């Protein structure tokens, strides 16, 4: 029994001390008087039958929730005190304890106590003992000044005439009720403000109050506007409201234009809209010309375009365009792979402007014989012309001309200059 009783006390204590306090404190100066019934479980060393009886208690609160308490109880039982002879035994334990009344619920306190214990054995037996005791239990306040108490106790007797065994332990269970008298100002409405300071002493139970004990402003519909300022007190939960607590216009399609102004209420999510909530014209190829005006909708990113969204070959003041990126194998007229992308853009522009005719001009640097360079530049110009014809440009709109080294645009004395001179150009024809 002793082992399991210890486990019981440890588990109960560990679980209860974690509860958050919420009950009203018992004020300093409060007196307590009570009666209880006790069932005692005696240490096997005493050979006394477990039994119960009545008890009385008296206490005084030295501080809020901390009481000095004394109790005494009486149990008439029997025991085998001398070998083979059962005798009547009257057991009278006395306790003096400090007890902490820790609030753990709206009307409940956890009781934790420890102190001195003395026990008297009477009738056929004359003995006594002294030691230390501990208590754990609950106080449940049914009325402001009346409470029921349930406790479990453990008493260690370091000095006992009834047995030669060391440190026997008795356990007990007690249940009764107590009255509380006097103490500090009461709190009739249990709002946490004592009656001497409470300007609203009849506050309903559970109502949040201010320092004067008066109810705090409420927000019944949970919209963030207190009831005393809320012009729309029944706003549906989750609605956004204005300073008056009234529902703001909604934006059902999430386009930034409220429903009362949205002339296109079903706009797909993420669509850019105008002030009426209607989708703005798109620019699918990102060239700055909206799709409804774009005559060349597949323009590659980064390409300069005109007002029609088509690649712009020639600037207004220039009739020549160097085809950057159009390169050939060394001493050959074969276009490399990178040239195709450039010429594809040229073809798109020429298709968009059928009135334009161009000369494809080939140029070389001055290295090697002039005759060879002229022939090579002519073949390269023809390769470009043939590629454009293959993309749908009419042959009558294209002229191929090889100039060899005759029209340099930089010096031929350096590698950099010669690289600039090796080029293919488009010249706009009148």
Distance CA 202, CA 357 (A): 99
Distance CA 290, CA 428 (A): 28
Check residue 20 and give its pLDDT.
44
Q: Do 320-429 and 2-182 have the same topology in CATH? A: no
Tokens of 296: 């060349």
Kindly report the CA angle at 220 between 106 and 241, in degrees rounded to 5?
140
> Which CATH number is associated with domain 2-182?
2.40.160.20
Please report, for the chain, the start and end positions of each structural domain, with discontinuous segments joined by +.
Answer: 2-182, 195-237, 320-429
Q: Helix H segments across 2-89?
A: 2-16
Backbone angles phi, psi at 21, to 5 degrees: -70, 145
Among 379, 384, 377, which residue's Cα sits nearest to residue 335? Answer: 384
Class of domain 320-429: alpha beta
> How much of the chain is in helix, strand and coil states, percent to nearest 5?
15, 35, 50
Going from the C-alpha of 51 to that of each of 54, 232, 426, the distances in angstroms are 11, 67, 119
The region that residue 255 occupies, defined by phi over 0 for left and psi between -120 and 50 for alpha, beta otherwise, is alpha
The region that residue 266 occupies, defined by phi over 0 for left and psi between -120 and 50 for alpha, beta otherwise, is alpha
Tokens of 164: 């030669």
pLDDT (tens place) for every residue of the chain, 430 residues total:
444 445 444 435 444 444 444 567 788 889 999 999 999 998 888 888 889 999 999 999 998 899 999 999 999 988 766 666 778 889 999 999 999 999 988 889 999 999 999 999 888 778 888 999 999 999 998 887 899 999 999 999 888 777 777 778 999 999 999 999 887 677 777 777 877 788 887 888 878 888 888 877 787 787 878 877 888 878 888 778 777 878 777 777 877 788 777 778 777 887 777 777 777 778 777 777 887 777 777 776 767 777 777 777 777 778 888 888 888 888 888 888 888 888 888 888 888 888 889 999 999 999 989 999 999 989 999 999 999 999 999 999 999 999 999 999 999 999 898 888 889 999 988 7
Distance CA 161, CA 128 (A): 6
- One-character DSSP codes across 360-398: EEEE--SSS-HHHHHHHHHHHHHHHHHHHHHTT--GGGE
Among 130, 123, 45, which residue's Cα sits nearest to residue 93? Answer: 130
Going from the C-alpha of 260 to that of each of 256, 264, 276, 306, 364, the distances in angstroms are 12, 11, 10, 39, 69
Q: Which residue has the tokens 């002039």?
A: 370
Check residue 117 and give its pLDDT.
96
Tokens of 14: 């560990």
E strand or H helix at 102, and its extent? strand 85-103
Distance CA 75, CA 10 (A): 27
Distance CA 32, CA 131 (A): 25
């Amino acid at each position: 029994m002793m082992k399991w009783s210890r486990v019981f006390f440890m588990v109960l204590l560990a679980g209860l001390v974690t509860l958050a306090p919420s009950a009203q404190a018992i004020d300093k100066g409060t007196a307590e008087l009570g009666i209880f019934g006790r069932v005692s479980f005696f240490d096997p060393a005493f050979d006394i039958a477990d039994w119960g009886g009545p008890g009385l208690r008296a206490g005084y609160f030295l501080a809020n929730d901390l009481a000095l308490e004394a109790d005494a109880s009486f149990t008439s039982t029997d025991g085998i005190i001398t070998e083979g002879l059962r005798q009547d035994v009257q057991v009278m334990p006395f306790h003096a304890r400090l007890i902490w009344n820790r609030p753990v619920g709206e009307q409940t306190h956890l009781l934790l106590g420890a102190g001195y214990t003395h026990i008297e054995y009477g009738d056929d037996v004359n003995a006594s003992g002294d030691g230390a005791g501990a208590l754990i239990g609950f106080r449940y306040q049914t009325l402001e000044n009346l409470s029921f108490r349930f406790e479990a106790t453990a008493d260690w007797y370091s000095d006992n005439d009834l047995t030669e065994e060391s440190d026997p332990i008795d356990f007990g269970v007690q249940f009764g009720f107590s009255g509380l008298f006097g103490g500090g100002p009461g709190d009739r409405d249990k709002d946490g403000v004592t009656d001497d300071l409470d300007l609203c002493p009849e506050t309903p139970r559970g109502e949040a109050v201010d320092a004067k004990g008066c109810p705090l402003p409420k927000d019944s519909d949970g919209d963030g506007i207190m009831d005393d300022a809320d012009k729309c007190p029944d706003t549906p939960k989750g609605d956004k409201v204005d300073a008056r607590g009234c529902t703001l216009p909604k934006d059902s399609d999430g386009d930034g234009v409220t429903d009362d102004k949205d002339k296109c209420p079903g706009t797909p999510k993420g669509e850019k809209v105008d002030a009426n909530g209607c989708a703005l014209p798109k620019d699918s190829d990102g060239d700055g010309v909206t799709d409804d005006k774009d005559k060349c909708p597949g323009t590659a990113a980064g390409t300069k375009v005109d007002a029609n969204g088509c690649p712009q070959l020639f600037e207004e003041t220039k009739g020549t365009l160097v085809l950057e990126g159009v390169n050939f194998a060394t001493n050959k007229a074969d276009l490399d792979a990178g040239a195709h992308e450039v010429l594809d853009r040229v073809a798109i522009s020429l298709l968009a402007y059928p009135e334009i005719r161009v000369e494809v001009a080939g140029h070389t640097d001055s290295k090697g014989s002039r005759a060879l360079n002229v022939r090579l530049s002519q073949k390269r110009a023809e390769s470009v012309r043939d590629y454009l014809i293959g993309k749908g440009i009419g042959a009558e709109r294209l002229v191929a001309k090889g100039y060899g080294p005759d029209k340099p645009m930089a010096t031929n004395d350096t590698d950099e200059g010669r690289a600039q001179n090796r080029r293919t150009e488009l010249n706009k024809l009148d």
